[in-house]
Amino acid sequence: MGCGVEHGPLGAGAVSEISALIASLTREVADFPSPGIQFKDLSPLFADHRGFAAVTDALAEVASGTDLIAGVDARGFLLAGAVALRLGTGVLAVRKGGKLPPPVLSETYDLEYGTATLEIPADGIELAGRNVVIIDDVLATGGTVAATARLLRRGGATVTGAAVVLELAGLNGRDVLKPLPVSSLHTA
């Protein structure tokens, strides 16, 4: 247990306090959605005002200086919307495949369990020249964040980093994403 914040102005005391709060409000579910997966359900954290406010503030600090917040379907939407309001930016919902009308940019990738497709609109949102940070709830193998970064770059954005609430140790997601800066509020 610990925290993996790599950049941003959070002090060590604030980080360890948030890390402990996240640990206490995470529900562990064994063998979901498939055998061998230890699922981290952050629903209790999101449902707790103190917990949700604390992670929103911490993610906003590490995301400051960017001008668009990309949230990954679906739990990343909750965080990205809240962080965008804190920072005074817009938010981009990175959707699962088949949800957006055409034209879309699309990336298919491997998950810790199975494969998935993510999409963003190819029209109507100007990404060129914008500094975008990616926000999600959990970093596992890094495939989701990597696919999101590819999508955003194909749209012309500069991806400044990724910020997650919880990082799973031992899956090397952070290494897969190098040299992209990754911030996590808690490692388990």
> Could you give the residue numbers annotated as active site?
75, 112
φ, ψ dihedrals at 160, nearest 5°: -85, -20
Amino acid at 39: F
Binding interface with ligand AMP (CB under 6 A): 37-40, 72, 75, 111-112, 136-144, 168, 173
Cβ proximity to ligand AMP: between 14 and 81 the closer is 81
CB of 122 to ligand AMP, least distance (A): 22
Count Cβ atoms below 10 Å from residue 152 Cβ, excluding itself.
Answer: 24
CB of 70 to ligand AMP, least distance (A): 12
Cβ proximity to ligand AMP: between 33 and 103 the closer is 33
Cβ proximity to ligand AMP: between 51 and 173 the closer is 173
CB of 13 to ligand AMP, least distance (A): 27
Residue 1 CA from chain centroid, whole number = 19
